[in-house]
Structure formats: C-alpha cells, structure tokens
Amino acid sequence: MLLNNEYKEEIIETIFEKSNFCFVVVDGQGLVTYLNDNYCKFIGVKLEDAIGKHVQDVIENTRMHIVAQTGKEEIADIQFIRGNHMIANRVPLCSKGKIVGAVGTVLYRDTKEWMKMNSHIKDLLLEIEQYKKKLGNQNGATYSLQDIVGSSIQINKIKEKVMKISSGDVSILLMGESGTGKELFAHSIHQLSERSMKPFVKVNCAAIPVDLLESELFGYEGGAFTGAKKGGKLGKFQLADGGTLFLDEIGDMPLDAQVKILRVLQEGEVEAIGSEKTQKIDVRIIAATNQSLETLIKENRFREDLYYRINVIPIKIPPLRERVEDIRVLAKFLLAKITKRTGKRVISFEAAVMDFFMHHEWPGNVRELENVIESAVHLTNTEIIKLEDLPDQMQSNHYTTKQSMNLKEVLARAERQAIENAIERAGGDKLRAASLLGVGKSSFYEKMKKHQL
Ligand SMILES: Nc1ncnc2c1ncn2[C@@H]1O[C@H](COP(=O)(O)OP(=O)(O)OP(=O)(O)O)[C@@H](O)[C@H]1O
C-alpha cells in the first residue's frame, strides 16, 4: 500500500526521522548502513562516523549483527547502553527469501522513560478503577439482573417477574434457603426501579444485637442514652430515604422492633430515639427470609400485620437442587469469577466432578457451590479440577450419594459419564465420540439429549 502512496517518501522520512524512535539498519556482515538522527543523538555519534563501521564499534552491547546472521528476531530485549537499560527490537531484513541484514528500533531510550510510561499507565488505571468503584457503590447496590446466572425455567421466570414488578413501589418479600441469591435479586430490583439513583441500604436483622437494632434502624439524638454519640446518629431508614431498605433475615427481627417498623411503614414517618420530632420518610421495603414466616406467625414470633405489609409481592427462589440445569452454567461462571480474582489459571472441571455437582444436594446452595470451587481452585495442581481436589467432607458425601442410588440411577450416571469422557477424548468431535463408544450417530445424539449434554 505504501508503495502506491503519493507521499511514500514523506511517510518513510517521518517514520524514520521525525518519530521519537531510534532506528538502525545493518547489512549481512553487521556493517551499519543507516542510523537515524535520534539514534545518533542518543549514542552521541555523527552519522558519517557510523556508516560503514561494524555495529559493535558503534553501539554498545548490540546484537544486531547476530540477528542479521541467524535471522531470528529479538523483541523487547533489554540492552544496557550508556549507563541505562533500553528496550530494543531487532528484526531480520529479508529480500527475495534471503537475509540481507537487520533493522533495530529502540522503544524507550532508558528504563526511566519506560518506568515513567508504565507508572503513568498504572496511575491512570488505578484512577479509573476508583471512579468505577465509586460509581458502582454510589447507591449501595452492586448487582443487576445480568449478574444472576442460570438457564433454568424457574430462574428465568423469576427474572421476568422481577422485570415486571421492579418499577412500582410495592413491598417485596424474597423467600428461599440460605445462599440461593436473595440478596442478588434485592440489588437487581433496586437497580431496575425508579429509585436506582437513590440509596440502597441493607440491614441484616440477624447480625445486629437486639438492643442495638432500634437505634440502627431509626437513629438517635445526641445524648439519647449513655454511650450515644454527641451529634446523634442517622438510622438506616433515614439513610435509605428516597431509596430502598433491604431487611435481610427479617424472621430474626425482635417483636418490639417489628411493631415500630410497622408504624413507620403505615405512617411514613420515623422518630429517632430520644427525639420529640418525627421525620417524613419515603422508602421501599424489600425483605428476605430463609425461614417460613407463616410458621413464625403460628409460633407468635412474627406479627401477622407486618407480614401482610411486607408480603405484597412474594418471590420464592428455589434451592439449587431443584434447578439442576443451573449447576453447570453456575459452576463455569463461578470458576471464571474465582480464577479472575485469585489469578490462578484453572480452566475447567473433569466430567466426574461436574457429574458429582449435578447429584449433590447443595444444602448451602450457590454459596456452597462457590466455596467448594474456590477451595478446589486453591488445592488443584493442574488446570482441570478433579474429584480429589474437592474438600474431604464432600468426597465422603460423594460415596454416600453413590451408595443411596438405585440401579437405574447408577446406570444413567455411568452412561452420562462415558459420553462426556468420549466427547472429551474426541476433542469435541461428536461423530468420533460415538464411534469410540461403538454406538450409532442417532442413538448417540438421543443419549446426549437425554442427559442434557
Ligand atoms: N444465580 C446466581 N448467579 C450468580 N451468583 C449467584 C447466584 N445466586 C447466588 N450467587 C452467589 O452466591 C452467593 C450467595 O448469594 P446471596 O448472598 O444473594 O444469597 P442469599 O439467599 O441472600 O443468602 P442468605 O440468606 O444466607 O443471606 C453470593 O456470592 C452470590 O453472588
């Protein structure tokens, strides 16, 4: 392209003489045939003194003559010259299939220049990261619906429901076992709502000591009680004003606090402890529980009126064992997330591990899956997670799971594993995998469908 360009000469001159790089060209014997002005200045020689001399007599520690002989390029090599390290590229020069010399460039004339550039980039990247963090945390909600991974019908239905109900101001009750992703959904609902630019404030009702819960929720005036801060403290309700208050583990809320919350929700006003004044408050409530609130009501541990107030729209998130289709995609997603965080290269699971994941009960749901994968990533010595990399208690569990299977399940499991292994051995080629197993093409595809492979 350059050959046809009408400014060919000017382009070549600009590249070689006006850019900030240093260039040198040697012939097959290592004699200098060209040295640009920048290079001359850098090494302190005159062009006429350099041309025709062996490159070793002109440039310290050079390897240009070697590259001109071997024809092997040397990229980003560090060369010590004039008391400094520079970064050099040396590329053989070929004409009509023969090596006729070499071209060298100096990227940075010393490590200082290089370090300056490097730290400049690092500084900028750090700054970007900080801005990103600030933006992300501005409202307190860090996850959105796209972060919720799963291909099961159940999860997709919940996502659809969330999209429909998020924009309104109605209270939502998220129900599900621990680790099913209730908090992820709470964040997503806030992000999709008109309140998304306002705060998202979480209160873990189970983690705050009973005697502190009320001051945490409603705040207090200065001097309200012994040990109170001088200027008082804002409560979570005040902090969430205009936004969303996420009451996690609401089943653990003491009855006294339940009464007060109900009053705030009914009257839209909050009264800080020790204050005579009330303050208008506008919050949307999202509550979550892993206990049955109906049972707690029967046991007089949860107020029925509060239950109706917060349970305008209930969303039930099924446990992981009831949506087995999600396990595979979740495992892959979590592996990528963990390896990115830890920096250890682990790329997949052996078929038996995935098979085990599909049959495990997962009492701790997605959180348990995440913890198991994290521990295996740390333990494995290879790029593929194997059964023996799983925590010990899981391996014994694996044994009991196996023991309690009936013959049909054992056979189905063996068949699935054989198919997965064959596909792996055939490098993903399904026809080859079928022939490795000695079954016909259509029967193989039928079995793959049956096992959802
Ligand atoms: N569908 C999902 N996709 C991606 N990550 C998920 C999903 N579900 C859960 N997780 C991850 O699993 C962990 C537990 O999720 P989360 O805290 O939302 O559960 P939870 O139901 O609120 O638990 P708890 O009741 O114990 O508070 C988190 O690290 C979360 O990121």
Q: Residue 426's pLDDT is what?
A: 83
Task: State the Cα–Cα distance between residues 363 and 84, nearest whole angstrom.
Answer: 61
Choosing from 173, 247, 328, 367 the residue with most ligand 1 atoms within 8 A of its CB, the one to mutate for a pocket test is 367
Give tens-digit pLDDT for 81-103.
777 677 889 999 999 989 999 99
When pLDDT is averaged across residues 222-237 and rounded to a whole number, the result is: 78
CA of 150 to the centre of ligand 1 (A): 12
Task: State the Cα–Cα distance between residues 418 and 132, nearest whole angstrom.
Answer: 46
320-404: CATH topology: Helicase, Ruva Protein; domain 3 (1.10.8)
* CB of 370 shorter than 6 A to ligand 1: yes
* CB of 183 shorter than 6 A to ligand 1: yes
CA of 183 to the centre of ligand 1 (A): 6
- Of 238, 246, 219, 312, nearest to 282 by C-alpha is 238
Annotated domain spans of the chain: 10-112, 145-316, 320-404, 407-451
Task: State the Cα–Cα distance between residues 281 and 283, nearest whole angstrom.
Answer: 6
Give tens-digit pLDDT for 309-339.
999 999 999 999 999 999 999 999 999 999 8
Task: State the Cα–Cα distance between residues 300 and 296, nearest whole angstrom.
Answer: 6
User: Over 90: is that where the pLDDT of 155 sits?
Assistant: yes
User: What residues have CB less than 8 Å from 123, skipping those under 6 apart?
Assistant: none
* ipTM for the predicted complex: 0.98
Give tens-digit pLDDT for 240-290.
999 999 999 999 998 988 998 999 999 999 988 888 888 999 999 999 999
145-316: CATH topology: Rossmann fold (3.40.50)
407-451: CATH topology: Arc Repressor Mutant, subunit A (1.10.10)
Ligand 1: nearest atom to the Cα of 150: 1
* CB of 148 shorter than 6 A to ligand 1: yes
Q: What would the two tokens of residue 133 be?
A: 């963090």
When pLDDT is averaged across residues 57-64 and rounded to a whole number, the result is: 92
User: Over 80: is that where the pLDDT of 141 sits?
Assistant: no
When pLDDT is averaged across residues 141-145 and rounded to a whole number, the result is: 81
Sheet bearing 284-289, strands edge to edge: 200-204, 244-248, 284-289, 172-175, 313-316
User: Over 60: is that where the pLDDT of 208 sits?
Assistant: yes
pLDDT-based confidence at residue 167 (cuts at 50, 70, 90): confident
User: Over 60: is that where the pLDDT of 403 sits?
Assistant: no
10-112: CATH topology: Beta-Lactamase (3.30.450)
